[in-house]
Amino acid sequence: MMSKFVVALRNWLLPVAMVSGTILYFIISKISLFAPIRKDLLDVSDWLLPVTIFFTLFFTFCKIDFKEMKPRKWHFILLLSQTVMCVACMYVIVNFFNDEGFNKVLAEGIMACLLSPTATAAAVVTGKLGGSAASLTSYTLESNILSALLITVLCPLVNPLPDMDVFSAFFHVLFKISTLLLLPFILAFGLKYAMPHLHARLAALKDVSYYLWGFSLTIVTGLTVRMVWLNMSDGILEIALVSGAAIVCLFKFAYGKFIGHLYSKEDKISAGQALGQKNTAFTIWMALNFLNPIAAVAPGSYVIWQNIINSYQLWQKRKTDSARNI
């Protein structure tokens, strides 16, 4: 009975996490019993989320075989493309959208989706689709490094931090982002050589990073719902953010596959997942902290769109494999 529950939870972790986050927010915010500790619970979620994201990445990087990490040509094309798109989006926001109105918030939501690093789970999905999991693991690390740099440089320009000059804001963002994206890799890499037995035991832990991801998604969903609920007007902006995220998601999967198909069938699958499947839990946290918080609706809905695409791709793969076995 328990094993069936665990299997069901694993298969349905995404919707369970998102529904749980939504329900928990309304329980905590609307039931008077929680009124005395409401603020404390929000404070806990503010520091618990980055801690959860940190350990999700740490356990993921512990499983990496660093000897197999070899950059491919399409890695550089996708990283350069992401840089160009993010810089172009920043330029439009800074030069044409000076207020905190509809257009700027929508553009910030789109930029958040473009800034997002590749999801740690992308390698698993890529392997199931017939792509190269090793190549995706390498790209995930490269994507984390690039996102850390882009967020550090671009976010303070788009949404200046109060009481800070530009350089102070850069270092403030760099410290927070590098702690979350780069430090887990440095610790995992150091642990592999300093304490190999402990590293091996941590790497052998099954599905820890997956369930940590689900827990972080529960928190970010609750925080996003809170932000939308408190700032909801006529709903047009929120619909635009959800629609914009869908367009960006489809474009990134399609563009990644186009670049990958120039090299091989395997690379077509890998590149599509590399550019399309993103670490949305981190991106929502980033948007809540360094952009207009309402913009977090875009990456919050991106996770739904990317998993619809992933589910369709996996269904197509199973269908194709079944036809071959007949």
pLDDT score for 108: 94
For 132-173, how does the pLDDT look when each residue is reduced to its tens digit (9 = 90+)? 877 888 898 899 889 989 998 898 999 887 777 777 878 888
| Contact indicator for 12, 210 with CB cutoff of 8 Å | no
For 263-290, how does the pLDDT look when each residue is reduced to its tens digit (9 = 90+)? 998 999 999 999 999 988 888 888 888 8
For 176-224, how does the pLDDT look when each residue is reduced to its tens digit (9 = 90+)? 888 887 888 889 889 988 998 998 998 888 778 778 878 887 887 787 7
More confident residue, 100 or 199: 199
The DSSP symbol for 1 reads -
Residue ranges and CATH numbers for the domains of the chain are 41-312 (1.20.1530.20)
The angle subtended at Cα 77 by Cα 111 and Cα 279, nearest 5°, is: 45
User: What single letter denotes the amino acid at residue 53?
Assistant: I
H helices present in 159-207, as ranges? 166-181, 183-194, 196-204
| Contact indicator for 244, 298 with CB cutoff of 8 Å | yes
Residue 110 vs residues 80, 292, 295: alpha-carbon distances, Å:
18, 12, 8
311 phi and psi, to 5 degrees?
-60, -40
**E strands of the chain, at which residues?**
none
Q: Kindly tell me if the per-residue pLDDT of 12 is higher than 60.
A: yes
What is the Cα–Cα distance from 83 to 91, expressed in whole angstroms?
A: 12
Tokens, residue 100 = 């905190």
